[in-house]
Amino acid sequence: MALQLFDCHRLEINTYKVHISKNFKNSFRYLDKGIIMAQFDRQNIRQQVSSAAMIDEGLRSYMLKVYNYMSLGLGITGVVAFFFFRYTTSNEAVFALVYQSPLMWVIALSPLAFVLVLSFGINKMSAATAQLTFWAFATVMGLSLSSIFITYTGTSIARVFFITAATFGAMSLYGYTTKRDLTNWGSFLFMGLIGIIIASVVNIFMASSALAFGISVIGVLVFVGLTAYDTQKIKEEYLESDSSEIMGKKAIMGALRLYLDFINLFLMLLRLFGNRN
């Protein structure tokens, strides 16, 4: 009887050992799987971080190109405007031809032709052609803006330029960094822009100082908003898979949009804060 109890007890012990051994094997198997999965997750995270870093670097390079084109365009416009004004004031016949004849309207409206050419013909152009067209536009815009030196003092022009630069920089930085979707701004800003154009045309015939003041105030708000809106849209248009040719044309069009925002904001602020000669 005692021998049978001992054998049964030994059988139970062996069974318990086998059960423990299986549990240990299963535990190690699960542990190995966990280690493998953890290593796989770490590799995925490294790949994602590396991919995100490459996109960030490419986006920074793209946006820097946009800002460089815009800044160089503004520089060309400023230099051409100043020296063209100096040239015309040194020659009465040229001054009368440029500022007191129908040629004045040709010079004033000619930048619009370049904007239309770039806007509707960019897909048919090479990046190099688009870049040359943009430089030509900036030059012609300088001729058109040379008249501000007749109307306003040089000191007030410089002061308003720096105010515009600070405002533009702050709003463009907001548009670049904000997580808020500014798409809903687009329809309101476009409606405001159309309203400004219509009111400006009407005021050519009315010559109302009150209407001109209202247009300038609304214009400042519209172009401040457009600066942030356009910056975000330019950022969203970046694609890592784009070829250098497509990237170059996108940068030119982005520079054109920001250039127009800056110039129009500058003109609206100049009408509000510029000191007239």
pLDDT tens track for 128-142: 999 999 999 999 999
Confirm whether 9 is domain-assigned.
Answer: no
> How far is it, in rounded angstroms, from Cα 258 to Cα 3?
98
Band of pLDDT at residue 1, cut at 50, 70 and 90 = very low
Number of domains in the chain: 1
Q: Is residue 1 part of a domain?
A: no
The rounded mean pLDDT for the chain is 85
For residues 173-193, one letter each, b for 16 or more C-beta atoms within 10 angstroms of the residue's C-beta and e for the rest, the string is ebbeeeeeebeebeeebeebb
Contact 160, 266 (CB under 8 A): yes
Q: What proportion of the chain, given as a percentage, has pLDDT over 70?
A: 80
Asked if the structure places residue 5 within a domain, the reply is no
Q: Is residue 163 part of a domain?
A: yes
Q: Hey, what are 166's tokens?
A: 């600070």
3-state secondary structure of 126: coil
CA distance linking residue 62 with residue 55, whole number of Å: 10
CA 91 to chain centre: 41
Q: Is the pTM of this model over 0.85?
A: no
pLDDT at 4: 44
Residue 32: the pLDDT is 53
Find, among 224, 231, 223, the residue nearest to 172 by Cα: 231
The reported pLDDT for the residue numbered 46 is 53
**What pLDDT score does 35 carry?**
53
**CA-CA-CA-CA torsion for 35, 41, 46, 49, nearest 10 degrees?**
-150
The answer to whether position 12 is within a domain reads: no
Within a domain: 10: no
Judge residue 237's burial from the number of C-beta atoms within 10 Å of its C-beta, 0-12 exposed, 13-18 middle, 19 or more buried.
Answer: middle
Structural domain of residue 54, as residue ranges? 23-273
Residue 7 within any structural domain of the chain: no
Weakest mean pLDDT among 34-38, 74-78, 225-229, 259-263: 34-38
User: Is 16 part of any domain?
Assistant: no
Residue 68: is its pLDDT beyond 60? Answer: yes
Mean pLDDT of 90-97: 89
pLDDT at 11: 44
Tell me which of 141-145, 222-226, 237-241 is least confident.
237-241
Record the tokens describing residue 19, joined without a space. Answer: 């059960």
Q: pLDDT-derived band of residue 277, with 50, 70 and 90 as boundaries?
A: confident
Q: Which residue has the higher pLDDT, 55 or 277?
A: 277
